[in-house]
Amino acid sequence: MLIRQEALNGDQSLKDLPKTSPLPSASLVLAFGSVKRFSESKLAATLKARYPSAQIIGCTTAGEISNTGVYDDTLQITAIQWERTTMRVTDIVVSDMRNSFQSGATLGSTLKTDNLRAVLVISDGLSVNGTELLRGFQSVLGTKLPIVGGMAGDGAQFTRTLQLYNDLVSDHLVIAIGLYGNNLVTASGALGGWKPYGPPRKVTRSEKNVVYEVDGKPALPLYRMYIGEHYAKGLPGTGLKFPLAVVGENRNVETVRTLAAINPADNSLTFFGNVAEGETIRLCQASHDRLVEGARGAAKMVSSALPPHALNTPALAICVSCVGRKLVMGEQVSDEIYMVKDTLGPQAAVTGFYSNGEFCPIAAEDSSELHNQTMTIGYLTEVA
């Protein structure tokens, strides 16, 4: 497994890339950048010319992740050449969120074979229900296959996200990369660091990712009351700082859900993932230190899941973290990437993005889930 990376900062144009790419023979290229970067007319052609044999996949972000930290309005390019792993890529247009489940099932059917070991998914960040998309994949592939990746961002504007698949740059795409072969070793970790506060409350009326009533009361006024008038004026954007935790009987956080939209007409809250009727929820808050510790915990999950013979081989760590975490940490957001890099070790090249939703198993042997407000790490390496 060979990995090479290159980048353009906010002041550079595509013409500023070196004349030759660092790995012309790459089989896969991951590219992450801002909406402005992905709107450049020559982006796809430039990358294809630099990596003629590669499948080129990417998306817009709420912040680009690299070995050296977190950036805005850059272009981060990671080229991978598999030595013992084969790959298949497929895509689908999802024009209606209600088609999310069937879209996942269709993609899963295209990728399914006996030696499929992992799936990397890059999805539109606004037109897809991430929970239903994953359930569609799992209806075909089962729940034990690791599915990692995330939903594209647009700098917390929630207006339009873009996806890149070879010569196509478009919205409403879901791109799935199937990775095959017994020489591929995968590991994953996902942890948030958010702290629930306030009393537990029961979701008494919801439909998939739309919550209408909590404890028998309209959801939106109750949410406004808890976050306070100052933050309520900025909804839905300010909701990134106040996600919901779905908690189990032991009061532990099972999943976190980020607010995507509000509807004053019916007093509902729409989240980036499903919130089922009957689930117990609490509001969350976090500090910089708690979020960084969450990132370290996710990296420790990865390290502890790797077999000894895969601890020092060249690896790619795909980090997908949430735009809400970035807003809380502000200018110190790179701290969580430094922590991940330090915990995983120098053999792992880091790439990824800040997203509208993250796909990852919580730990080894768990099924993949849609996360919000969580640092997720999909770790890939090859062994002989």
Measured CA to CA, the distance from residue 334 to residue 277 in angstroms comes to 37
pLDDT of residue 306: 94
pLDDT at 195: 85
Average pLDDT score over residue span 220-241: 92
SS3 3: strand
Judged by average pLDDT, the poorest of 65-74, 175-184, 249-258 is 249-258
Q: Categorize the per-residue pLDDT at 357 as very low, low, confident or very high, splitting at 50, 70 and 90.
A: very high
Structure tokens at 68: 């050296």
Q: What is the pLDDT of residue 364?
A: 67
Residues 286-329: tens digit of each pLDDT: 889 999 999 999 999 999 999 999 999 999 999 999 998 998 89
What residues have CB less than 8 Å from 153, skipping those under 6 apart? 59, 60, 61, 62, 63, 125, 161, 323, 353, 354, 355, 356
At residue 237, the pLDDT reads 86
Per residue in 62-96, pLDDT (tens digit) is: 999 999 999 999 999 999 999 999 999 999 999 89
If DSSP states are collapsed to H, E and C, what string results for 308-349?
A: HHHCCCCEEEEEEEEHHHHHHHHHHCHHHHHHHHHHHCCCEE
The three-class DSSP label of residue 21 is coil
CA-nearest of 304, 194, 308, 210 to 265 is: 210
Please state which of the ranges 116-125, 167-176, 283-292, 342-351 shows the lowest mean pLDDT.
283-292
